[in-house]
């Protein structure tokens, strides 16, 4: 029973920390361009090649 008194607040604290991190990433714009990275693999970059 004493173990639960420590584990429940720790679990709630970690959950709130994860939720705060998620909302922070939303405000910073981390989820604005979800398809950009997936489609960037198909773009061929022209690199200068030495003759």
Prediction pTM value: 0.62
Give the per-residue pLDDT at 30. Answer: 87
Give the per-residue pLDDT at 51. Answer: 59
Give the per-residue pLDDT at 36. Answer: 82
Residue-by-residue pLDDT tens, the chain, 51 positions: 889 999 999 999 999 999 999 999 999 988 888 888 788 888 877 666 665
28 close to 22: Cβ distance less than 8 angstroms: no
22 close to 16: Cβ distance less than 8 angstroms: no
Give the per-residue pLDDT at 37. Answer: 76
Supply φ then ψ for residue 39, to 5 degrees: -85, -15
């Amino acid at each position: 029973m004493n173990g639960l008194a420590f584990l429940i607040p720790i679990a709630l604290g970690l959950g709130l920390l994860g939720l705060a991190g998620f909302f922070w990433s939303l405000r910073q714009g981390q989820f604005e361009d979800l398809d950009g990275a997936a489609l960037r693999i198909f773009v061929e970059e022209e690199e200068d090649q030495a003759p």
